[in-house]
Each structure stands twice: as C-alpha cells, then as structure tokens.
Amino acid sequence: MRLTRRAFIKVTGGASLAMASGAFRLPGAVAGPSVTIRLLAHSSYNEDSDKAITKLGTDFAVKQNAAFSGDFIDQPEVAAKLTAEEQAQSGHDIVDLQDNLPTIHKNFLVPLDDVVADITKKYGSFYQIAKDSGYVDGHWLSLPWLGNCELGVYRSDYFAKVGERVPSTWDDLLRAATKLKKVGHPVGIAISQCEDSNAAWYPLLWSFGASVTDSRGRLTIDSPATNQALDYGRKLFAQMEPTVLSWDDSSNNKYMLSGRGAYTINAPSIYLKAKRDKMAFAGSIKHSPPPAGAKGRFYYADIHGWGVFKFSKNIDLAKQLLRSMYTDESQKLFLTLGQGYDMPVLPHFDVNPPYAADPQLRPEVGFSRNAHLVAYPAPPDARAEKAYQTYVIPNMFARAAQSSNIDAIAFAVKALTDIGYSK
Amino acid sequence: MSTFIFIVYLVPTTLLFIPLARIIAVLHLSNTLWSLIVTYPAFMVPFITWMLTAYLSSIPRDLEESALVDGCTRLSALWRIVLPLARPGIVTATLFAFTLAWSEFIYALTFISTTNLKTVTAGVVVDLIRGDIFYWGSLMAAALVASLPIVLLFSLFLDHYVSGLTAGAVKG
C-alpha cells in the first residue's frame, strides 16, 4: 500500500495529539491501586519463610484497605537493587537489610526508634548482635527481624564409625578429620569466595584470638594469633577435599547431602532439606555449636532487618506493618513456617520457638545471644562489609593453604588497607 | 568519531544503571518491560554503530560512485548498492545486538521486581537460587531453554557472516 504524504501527516499528527493528551500511555505505566505497600526481601532457602512474610503483609494490608506486594530475590542481588532504588528515589517502601547494610544505606533510611520502642516495651530488648546491625549513629535504622545461624553440621554415624564424638574444639575436629578422610568421608569446609566460607573462617580466627581489627577499628590482622589460625587452617585443609578451594554456597550442602561429607559449617538447611526429602540418613545429620579455640567459642550469625526508605510515600503505613509483624501471633506464624531456618532476634521469642520441638534444631535456641557480625570486635561499618563481600579472610586462608603464612597475611593486609583500614 | 562511539560502548552497564534508574523512575516505567525497551539502546546503539562503521568502511567507495555515474541518487545508491553489500554486517550486528539484549542482566535485575515480568536471564538467577540451595535441575533446564533462540538464530544466519561479498567487485 502506498502511503501518501497527507495520510502520513494524519497518522503521525493523530498519534502526537493522543500522546500529548494522555490518551495513549505506555503499557505498564498505568497507575496501580491507590496504596500498595511494597517490600523487598532476600529469598529464603525455606520458601515458606517468604510465604509467611507475604501472609503477614497481605493480612495487614487488607485491614488497612491497601494492597501488599512482596518481592523476594536472591541475597547477592539485593545490593544492586537497593542502589538503583536509592538513585531513582523510588521503589520499595520496606527493604531487607543484612548485617552491615543499615550503616551503608543510613542516608536513605527513616529512623525507626518509635517502632523499636513500642516493640521493646512489650517484649524486651533485642539481642546485642541485632542491635549491632540495626542501631546506627544513635538511631534504629533497621528493625531486626531474623537471624540465620552457622552451626557445626555433622554425620553422627560417620563420627561413631571412627570412634569420635561431636567435635567440641577445632583440635577435636582436626583429629576426627584425619580419621574420617581415611574412611572416605572427609570433613568439608569451603575455603573460597562464598558466604559459608566467611561464616566458617571469621569465627575460627576469633577463637584463636585474632581478628581483622581491634574494638576501635584499627587493623590487627598481622598478628601471631593469625599465624596460629593459618597454621591450623593449613592442617585442616590437608584433611579435606582439595575442591573446597572452589566451593560456592551450595557446595557443602551437596557434599553432605550426597552422603560423602562428615562435617561442615552451615545453616540448618542441610538437615532441613534431608528431612523434607525424607532422606534415609536425615536422622544422622546433627548440629553442634561451632568448635572452640584457645580463646573460646565464637558464634557467627547473619541478621536481617527491615528498613524504610525516606522516599517512600507510605512511611507511616510501613511502620504500622512492621509493628504488626511483632505480635505473638505474627512471630508464631513466622517461626513455625520458618521451620528453624530463621531464628528470632528477640530473646522473648527465643525461649521456646516452635522448631525447638525437633531435638536436632535445639542447638539453635539462644544461638544469637553470643553471636557476632564480621566487624567484631569493632562496630559494623562499610569497610567490614567490603571485606566480607570481597572474601578477604577466606582468600587469606586459601593462600596460606597453598603457600605461606607470610604471603597470606601480606595479601590480607594489602587488601584490607585498600578497603580503607589502617593501623 | 568511531573512537568516541567505542568509548561510549565501554561505559559499563554496572555504572550506567544508576543514572538510568533515575530516568526510569521519572518516566514512571519502573517494574515494566518498557523500562528495558527504553534503556537497552543505551548499550546497543553504540555497539551496533561501532560494528557497522567498521563494516561499512570496508565497502569500496568506487561502487557508490559508479552508481551515481549510472544515474542513482545518493539515497538510491545507498539503498540499491551499499545496503545489499552490507547485509552480512547488518545481520551480524543484529545477531550480536539480540544476544546482548537477551543476555543482559543488571538492568533486568534492577528495573524489574515482579517475577512474571523478569527476563529469563535475571529470573533464572533470582528465582531459582534460594539461599544456599540451588535448584540445579531447573537452573540447567532454564539455561538450556534460554540458549535455544540464540542457537537457532546463529544457525540460520551463519552464512551471512561471510563478509567476502565485496571481493572482486571493482576489478575489471
């Protein structure tokens, strides 16, 4: 068909008028419900945890004649999403902030002191680790919501086979690891660039008396205690699969669930998966506190809390929703559906959580009382998060396992100095 | 000029998504497929321009001039002579542009929140990994299905990669 000049002008002119008058709108640009509370969270290993949050949000929204929309994405992708929304000054009302993130995003977050005051007045104070995460520069910028613990996960049948009991100390673990390797069930702890590796090697470092910094944030990684920890790491690596140097977060789960592994450091997801899939050896997967070193036993947990963006158009409603998530009923629902993967961060709800009925999950009860974030013994800051995200400590142990302590510590000092630490 | 276009192409999407997020919010396109339709040219146009500049400059100017001598206008010389000769380059640029858009991750991740709107590249990672459990079966299946359109397109247009179309065109 031949398009005349007159027809062309008619079509393009009409379209321009339609766009100018608003008759034509891009699909999807249509306004939604009058009020929608939008929440962004990490997707939990346990899908029911996400469903619990959605139910709490939806139930609240219905009462408020509003709508609720929960978006759950893989944890590593949350950072990019937060950055984009902060630059756009638009997006979700409530966001999931893990560990050190409240301090990094503090300029964009509404203080939640009033919400926390109401909750603590009724249920008492939060665990210290939860406060470390959410309380920034004199204000609660994140309402602590849950903790994910890192436990010793072991096969009781394999340990019994080699005449060993549950390892209480790192030395116990090394002794057992030598025997377990001989019977074809080596210990497996990631020494690689993944969160599980951070979760294992930071507490080991602390238990030897070493740490990235002192309590004032001054660099202390180059120390005799770090040398001892690296010596230990090298000995343990010799008793493990060499592939631990390239493991990701799913690797130790697969390793244990395949039936080969005898011990790892992980959240209860390995046991919960075996139980859910009715694996024959589910009953043999047990949990224990992380092993102790010469300077004591140290616990590591991830804390997730809720922040409210300053640019949210529903700040008051968002705060009300957060309050409604801290009632006896709400917590019972969340902790029941959480199945033990998610722990409470208020001691009040940690006395007898629903999952404690399972003896294999009892080591979780009270876990958060003595747990620390990676910045320990200093308060959380952006440098600690960057060291965590760039896996400086696992990389240091990996270098020590393959070369020398001097190289490994020099690497860590340089990496941490580049991040912004100084002596 | 081509150096400038190339430099524009070198600006990483991991940096560009930050200002683009603001633009998308101003246009009220957040969490819509239009956010991707509007922003993908930001990295595709420089790439295609850079690629086609190199290809078009390899087409001898003599051919165009011959067409002009034979009575073609500038436009008809472009239409009748240059574009047919440039077809392998255009096809190649289209294929690469499609592949870039198909495999793009950071915009799809940051501009889209709702699962049923996510592109396959972002959806596979964001929805099929939950904590330390990777749904390997679904991940592998999704990766295979996602690769099929690319494989199909490249298979169909493989011959057009051959850029020797102009060889000998200006010889006696």
Q: How far does the CA of residue B104 sit from the closest CA of chain A (Å)?
A: 14
Instruction: State residue A329 phi and psi, 5-degree precision.
Output: -65, -45
> Which residue in chain B has the smallest CA separation from A341?
B131
Cβ separation of B25 and A89 shorter than 8 Å?
yes
pTM beyond 0.90: the answer is: no
> What does the alpha-carbon distance between residue A297 and residue A225 come to, in Å, rounded to a whole number?
15
Confirm or reject contact between B119 and chain A (CB < 8 A).
Answer: no
Domain residue extents for chain B = 2-166
| Chain A residues touching residue B125 (CB < 8 angstroms) | 74, 77
Site from B113, B116, B119, B135 to mutate, A interface, most A CB atoms within 10 angstroms? B113
pLDDT (tens digit, 9 = 90+) per residue, B126-163?
888 887 888 889 999 999 999 999 999 888 887 766 55
**Roughly what angle, to the nearest 10 degrees, separates helices B120-128 and B83-103?**
20
Cβ-contact A194, A249 below 8 angstroms: yes
* Token pair recorded at residue B25: 């919010």
Confirm or reject contact between A30 and chain B (CB < 8 A).
Answer: no
Give the up-direction half-sphere exposure of residue A21: CA atoms within 13 A in the CB hemisphere.
Answer: 7
Length of chain A: 423
Cβ separation of A27 and B125 shorter than 8 Å?
no
SS in 3 state form for chain B?
CHHHHHHHHHCCHHHHHHHHHHHHHHCCCCCCCHHHHHHCHHHHHHHHHHHHHHHHCCCCHHHHHHHHHCCCCHHHHHHHHHHHHHHHHHHHHHHHHHHHHHHCCHHHHHHCCCHHHCCHHHHHHHHHEECCEECHHHHHHHHHHHHHHHHHHHHHCHHHHCCHHHCCCCCC
| Chain B residues touching residue A45 (CB < 8 angstroms) | 130-133
| Chain A residues touching residue B17 (CB < 8 angstroms) | 80, 84
Cβ separation of B21 and A85 shorter than 8 Å?
yes
Cβ-contact A78, A40 below 8 angstroms: yes
Q: Which residue shows structure tokens 């890192």?
A: A150
| Chain B residues touching residue A341 (CB < 8 angstroms) | 131
Confirm or reject contact between B161 and chain A (CB < 8 A).
Answer: no
Specify the fold of B2-166: MetI-like fold (1.10.3720)
Which residues fall within 8 angstroms of residue B74, CB to CB, at 6 or more apart?
B68
Cβ separation of B33 and A47 shorter than 8 Å?
no
Cβ separation of A29 and B133 shorter than 8 Å?
no
Cβ count within 10 A of residue B28: 17
**Roughly what angle, to the nearest 10 degrees, separates helices A315-324 and A47-63?**
120
Nearest Cβ partner for B126 among A74, A92, A248: A74
Output the DSSP codes for A180-197.
HHHTT--B----SSSHHH
Cβ separation of B131 and A196 shorter than 8 Å?
no
Cβ separation of B33 and A92 shorter than 8 Å?
no
Cβ separation of B21 and A47 shorter than 8 Å?
no
DSSP assignment letter at A66? -
Which residues fall within 8 angstroms of residue B54, CB to CB, at 6 or more apart?
B2
Nearest Cβ partner for A269 among B27, B33, B132: B132
Bridge-partner residues for A303, per DSSP?
A147
Local structure of A79: helix, strand or coil? helix
Cβ-contact A5, A36 below 8 angstroms: no
- pLDDT tens for the 423 residues of chain A, in order: 455 556 655 655 555 444 444 444 444 444 455 799 999 999 988 889 999 999 999 999 999 999 999 999 988 889 889 998 998 898 999 999 999 999 999 999 999 999 999 999 999 999 999 999 999 999 999 999 999 999 999 999 999 999 999 999 999 999 999 999 999 999 999 999 999 999 999 999 999 999 999 999 999 999 999 999 999 999 999 999 999 999 999 999 999 999 999 999 999 999 999 999 999 999 999 999 999 999 999 999 999 999 999 999 999 999 999 999 999 999 999 999 988 889 999 999 998 898 899 999 999 999 999 999 999 999 988 999 999 999 999 999 999 999 999 999 999 999 999 999 998
> What does the alpha-carbon distance between residue A281 and residue A184 come to, in Å, rounded to a whole number?
16
> What does the alpha-carbon distance between residue A331 and residue A324 come to, in Å, rounded to a whole number?
10
